[in-house]
Amino acid sequence: MSSSTYSSFKLACIQLSVTSDKNANLINAKSKILEASRNGAKVIVLPECFNSPYGTKYFSEYAENIPQGESVKTLSEAAKEANAFVVGGSIPERDSSGKLYNTCTVYDTKGNLIVKHRKVHLFDIDIPGIIKFQESETLSPGSSLTHFETDYGKVGIGICYDMRFPEMAMIAARKGCIAMIYPGAFNLTTGPLHWELLQRARALDNQFFVATCSPARDMTSTYHAWGHSTVTDPNGQIVATTEHEEAIIYADIVSSQRRFDLYPDISAHK
Ligand SMILES: NC(=O)CCC(=O)C(=O)O
């Protein structure tokens, strides 16, 4: 098989109900991963902040060391049992110096943690009287871009607000990624405005698939997630989506025919 001809596979995005009970979130995440796998999914995605409510006051309490924490243990077991790649949404991570990050961990089909992505662009918004949220109050930004190999092709990772910055997706495409996956939690203000538009733009710009995976909406929590987890194809068309309740969406991902092995640096050509 050449590096440009990957087979197709089924991707699942789990729009998980996230509660303030971390253990319950982990049990629910594992059970939904196994359900998605029984339905044929080979790459399974969880939402941003799947083990904790999304809010700056929660990050420190729910934060874990990676790879020692219980969330990594659960996701590793789930990936192995499901025999699927798992893109573990994100969790609050605490590093050895005490800094906090919003971090996505990714597992192969044997349950090995193969890569982690720390959210690069922190979400700070202040629309007086409507929404104020400052990730940078408690989190530090990541400083690298993340891509990982699957049996079906290379995939890029960003987290939520990262989707607003087209360079990340463009670099992933130039590196030969067949898809960009964004665990994310937009809200009731920016969700209707930009959630779908951004992912369709990233997909169309780069002629690859884009998948977004949100937590389900909980109107009793302090942050109201938009939901609408979605998969968009390289033509910018939505191939799977949902409303805001807990759900699993599925899409068949087919690799593009572009030959990045033959034109690695187009800008160098006169
Ligand atoms: N969790 C996030 O990064 C939210 C980003 C968001 O809502 C936006 O409008 O951007």
ipTM for this prediction: 0.99
Tens-digit pLDDT profile for residues 206-233: 999 999 999 999 999 999 999 999 999 9
CA of 168 to the centre of ligand 1 (A): 16
Topology of the domain covering 9-253: Nitrilase/N-carbamoyl-D-aminoacid amidohydrolase (3.60.110)
What the block records as the tokens of 79 is 């990936």
Amino acid present at 131: I
Ordered by start, the domain boundaries in the chain are: 9-253
Give the C-alpha distances (Å, rounded to integers) separating 45 from 16, 105, 179, 228: 10, 10, 13, 14
Q: Pick from 147, 206, 149: which is nearest to 173 by CA? A: 206
Closest-CA residue to 146 (of 170, 122, 172) = 172
Å from CA of 182 to ligand 1 middle: 11
Nearest protein CA to atom 7 of ligand 1, as residue: 186
Answer with the residue of higher pLDDT: 151 or 263: 151
Ligand 1 surroundings by CB, under 6 angstroms: 48, 123, 160-161, 164, 184-187, 190, 194
Helix (H) or strand (E) holding 31: helix 22-38
Identify the active-site residue in 10, 32, 119, 154: 119
Token pair 């990982």 in the structure block, residue:
148
Q: What is the pLDDT of residue 1?
A: 42
Question: What does pTM read for this prediction?
Answer: 0.94
Give yes or no: 132 in active site.
Answer: no
* Residue 160 annotated among the catalytic residues of the structure: yes
Closest CA to 153 of 217, 226, 85: 85
**Catalytic residue flag (residue 61):** no
At residue 7, the pLDDT reads: 73
